[in-house]
Structure formats: C-alpha cells, structure tokens
Structure 1
Amino acid sequence: MNKNLYIIIAILISGVAFSQVGVNTSNPQGVFNIDGGRDNPLTGAGSTYTPAQQRNDLVFLTNGNLGLGVTAPVQKLDIVTGGTSASPIAGFKLDDGTQGEGYFLMSKADGTAYWKEVAVTKPTILGTWGTSVITSDDSSSAPLEIYTGANITLPKGKWVVNFGLNLNITADVPHKSGFWQKAYLSSSSTTREQNGFEIIGSNTTPYMGYATAITKSTNAANSINFLSGSSVVVVTGNSATIYVLLKNSKRQLGATTGNMWEFDPSLNDMYLYAMPVNQ
C-alpha cells in the first residue's frame, strides 16, 4: 500500500516538475522560460520583475503566446526591447533579400511577409533646364531631334514624369495653320535612344514622351503654344538620366523665313518633375 502511494506521489511530482521548464531559472513563468541573464527572482510572478530582469527573458505560455523581453506576453509574439521614442531599440529584423532603406513591411495574400519600397517614401524629383534659346534647324543636315536642355535623373523604380514648355512658332506660316509637335524622352542628349528606362503604355520604339498640335493662332510674327504631358517611366537600372528632345520640325506650308519653332527658357511657364508610383 505504502509502495503504491509513493509511486503515485512520485508521478504527480514528476508531472508538476515537467509542466514548466526553466533554463537558468528555478522560477519559470510559463511552459518554457529562459532567463538569459540569470537574474530572475527565485519566487514571485514575472510581472513583478524589474524591466531589466525581463528584457533578457524568453517566455512561452500555455495559451501559445511567446514573449521576448517580457514575462507576461499578451500577443502571439510580444517583443519588448525597452526602447523609447527618444531612444528606440530595434526588436525585429527580417533579412530575406527584399529589405532596403525606407522599405515597408508588406503581406502577400497568404500572410507571408516581405519588404517593399512604396511611393510615400520617395520624394518628388525636379528636373534641370538649360539657359540657351533652342530653335528648329531647317538645314537638310540637321538632326531629327534637338535637345531642349531639360533633363532629370531618377533612381530605380516607377515614376510619372510631368513636362511642359512654351513653343513659339516663328515661321511665316498662315494664320490657323499648324503641325504635330513631338517630344521624346531619351537616355542621350544627342540622339533618340532608351537605355536604362522604358515608357509604359506607348506602342512605338523608341517611345514618344509627349505630343501636341502646335497652331499659328495669329498672323503676327510670333505665336506662343504650350507642349505638355505626363509619361509613366520605369527606371530599370540603379538610376537613369533622362533628356527631353524635341522633334526638329522643318518649315512647311510655303513658309520661306523663320524657324518652325523656338523655345526660350526666359519665357518661364516650364516644368519637369517626377512623382513616384507604387510598383
């Protein structure tokens, strides 16, 4: 009888002993508790431990909550580093190859986490302009496109590139006559080409950036028009400098004097800037 009683007591003690496991502590606060600093009290609840005593603990509770740096975790994963808004201390790191400066933690449909750069983390980028007056060249040896002096350098990603400038018709074409003026985005300031970026939604290669009808609105010598538009550009390399070229439209409709168009930076009313877009 006594022998059986001893066995039952031993089993009960064994069950209690193995219901909680403590490493470096004889006072485990959950099913499993590691006291990394060996500084937990021998008795008492973990919630009464000092912050310093809790910060080096790992605790797993019967409800499945896991605490890192906290002995009474209230979420499935509860991390407390002791950092403050003035002196933050990182408590999480996901190094899976998608990480990057300023990236956001995102989720796939199945809940898998990954890092992604989003548009709100990128600033709007302004282009630069030259100061020289640019005009069409009517000689037979002239290039097909002429550099406006405008360019913009963009890092890798998707961008909406917005562009606008005044064009003055100086050729002596009749009132209300006009032509189709095109502008191109190029990776070269001298020829029309695209390396390191592409334009979304265009059906020609190299892609056209912008186009508009330019009309002689008066019989006077000069007639101001405005060429503007937006293009969605994807920079595929680490960065790309994009130059704006204008089609070198020649004299037509019987005109014998003047250039077909002229761009004068001093007229103002011009812009070149890019806004980030989420991929």
Structure 2
Amino acid sequence: MKKAILFTLISIAYTTNSYSQIGIMTENPVTNSLVHIDAKSNNTQTGSNLNLDDVVIGQNGNVGLGTTAPQKKLHIVTGGTATTPNPQVRIEDGYQATNKVLMSDANGLARWSDYIPGYQAGVVGAGITHATTLTGTSQWSKTNMTITLDPGQWLIFYMISMTTNTVTVSDSNYRCWVQVSMGDNSTTATTDAISKNRFSNNAFVGKRTIINGWIAIDNKTTAAKTYVLYVGAVQNSMSGLNLLNVGEVNDGYSNIYAFRINMQ
C-alpha cells in the first residue's frame, strides 16, 4: 500500500514537472494553466458557457471560477448579464444582513457593515464685508467659507449668515436681493458643478439674513481641490448699504459640509 501511494506521488510530481499542468475531468487543460478542473467534463461539447463549471489556476497565480482565462488574482464569472444578473458570491461571517456592504479596515480585512457615505467638513473663517453697490468684476466677494474635496462626486450643503448695517430708508419693508455662488480660487462659479450653482434670499436693512444652498460637484482632477463660497450680485442695492459679517465663524449659523455621491 505504501509503495502504491509513493508511486502515485512520484507520478504526479513527474507529470507536473514535465508538463506544468494538471487536468482534472479534462484531457485538454487550458494553455498557461497549472491546474484545470472541468467539473462537468463538458469542454469538448458545443454550445455556450461551457466554462462556467471550470476552476483554473493560471501559471501567473490567478484563479478563475467560471472562466479559463482569469484576469486577476480572483476572477469569477457566473454567466449573469445586465438584464439577467446571476449573483454567486456568498460570504457568511456573522455580520451579514439585509442592505449591508462589504467594507475593509486599514489592513484590507473585509466584513459586512452598514454603509456610511464619505463625509467632509468645510472651514468657516472670519466674516467679510460686501458693499451692495459693487458692480462689474467686483460684484462678487470671496468669503472665508471653503471646503476641500478629494477627486470624485460630492454633494455640498451650506448655510451662510450675514447682517446689514442700518441706513435710512423711506420704506420700512425695503430689502435687497443677495446671491451666493460656489466657485474656486479663480472663478466665482466652478466649472465642476453638475447641478444648480446659485442660491439667494432677501436681506432686510439692519436684520440678519441666512441663505441655505446645496450644489453637486465632480472633481475630475487627481488631487484634492478647494471650493469657495462667493457672495454678491446684489439687486435693489442702496448707496451705503453693506453686507456685514458674511460667513462669520462665531455667529453660530454659518456652516459647510459635503457627502460623497454617485450621479449617473
């Protein structure tokens, strides 16, 4: 019995060293494979998807399940299509549950977990002053409200607060119209916007005004990029009327933050 086992091992080793291929349930292991298992032994038949039952270990170390030409370290083909999907990957680690996603830690160890979208907080600095009568290229003022985002798509939310100085008006209900735009360090309206870019509100004399807005952007560069809030393009302006403390960090109202998104 021992001699038979030894003979078998020697035979396998000899075959492997000689041909560098092992075929199981097939006499024709695929080229460039070390091990090729054809579970149904059907690769000589005609028809489609005859490799879906195959397991292959390539000479480059790639493993293929359902394919005889694995392109990565693990390549799985289930035969599913966009119209008729066929999911065949199942991981039971104790964390599995409805609507979980597979996430990894810093070492690449994966587990099922609740999905938490990427979040990035912005910066709110000192408030600025903007004269409502500014026109032309000066009609916009850069605030100190910024947010720096990695490449990809993001949905930015902001709340920007401001007040006006007190001036004499004949109409106690006098108000001007203030606009806010998302730009970058060189333009008042970023070209990365994939949604509306301006929001506005009325500003009453001597009162606080708050403008809420949101914007979807797509940072297509390969590095983090900083986006800036601008205020201006004031309509129904008045001489001597200024917007004060625009985007002031200490007012308790102004804030800016973003979440990762995927807009098709």
**TM-score range with shorter-chain normalisation?**
0.5 to 0.7
| 1:145 shift after superposition | 1.0
Equivalent position of 1:161 in the other structure: 156
Do the aligned residues in 1 keep the contact of 2:145 with 2:229 (CA within 8 Å)? Answer: yes
Equivalent position of 1:91 in the other structure: 74
Task: Indicate yes or no: 2:44 matched with 1:66.
Answer: no
- Which of 188, 191, 214 aligns to 1:192? It is 188
**1:185–1:215 distance in 2 versus 1, CA, 3 Å:** closer
Say which SS state the counterpart of residue 118 (structure 2) adopts: coil
State the one-letter code of the partner of 1:183: V
| 1:90 shift after superposition | 4.6
Do the aligned residues in 1 keep the contact of 2:177 with 2:200 (CA within 8 Å)? Answer: yes
Cα distance in 2 for partners of 1:259, 1:30 equals 84
**1:159–1:28 distance in 2 versus 1, CA, 3 Å:** closer
Cα distance in 1 for partners of 2:208, 2:188 equals 26
- Which of 188, 193, 210 aligns to 2:198? It is 210
Q: Deviations over 1:242-263 (max 9, x none)?
A: 111110648845x65x524432
Q: Deviations over 1:151-201 (max 9, x none)?
A: 122233322111112121223255432222111122226x5253xx43234
Say which SS state the counterpart of residue 250 (structure 2) adopts: helix
Query: What pairs up with 1:144-155 in 2 under 5 angstroms?
Result: 144-155=139-150
Equivalent position of 2:118 in the other structure: 123
Gaps of 5+ in 1: 1-21, 35-55, 70-74, 79-88, 95-105, 112-119, 203-208
Say which SS state the counterpart of residue 228 (structure 2) adopts: strand
- Which of 234, 242, 248 aligns to 1:259? It is 242
| 1:134 shift after superposition | 0.8
Do the aligned residues in 1 keep the contact of 2:23 with 2:35 (CA within 8 Å)? Answer: no
Query: What pairs up with 1:15-26 in 2 under 5 angstroms?
Result: none
Gaps of 5+ in 2: 1-15, 43-49, 58-64, 86-114
Q: Deviations over 1:3-60 (max 9, x none)?
A: xxxxxxxxxxxxxxxxxxx9859995302476xxxxxxxxxxxxxxxxxxxxx63212
State the one-letter code of the partner of 2:192: E
- Which of 134, 143, 152 aligns to 2:128? It is 134
How much is the aligned-residue C-alpha RMSD, in angstroms? 4.3
State the aligned residue count: 191
**1:242–1:26 distance in 2 versus 1, CA, 3 Å:** closer
Cα distance in 1 for partners of 2:22, 2:222 equals 55
- Which of 35, 41, 44 aligns to 1:57? It is 35
**1:26–1:249 distance in 2 versus 1, CA, 3 Å:** closer
Do the aligned residues in 1 keep the contact of 2:176 with 2:235 (CA within 8 Å)? Answer: no
- Which of 121, 125, 138 aligns to 1:143? It is 138
Instruction: Give percent identity, aligned residues only.
Output: 13
Query: What pairs up with 1:262-273 in 2 under 5 angstroms?
Result: 262-263=245-246, 264-273=248-257
Cα distance in 2 for partners of 1:153, 1:228 equals 19
Cα distance in 1 for partners of 2:133, 2:253 equals 29
TM-score (norm 1): 0.53
State the one-letter code of the partner of 2:188: R
Do the aligned residues in 2 keep the contact of 1:171 with 1:251 (CA within 8 Å)? Answer: no
Q: Deviations over 1:74-131 (max 9, x none)?
A: x7459xxxxxxxxxx952399xxxxxxxxxxx975597xxxxxxxx69622222222x
TM-score (norm 2): 0.56
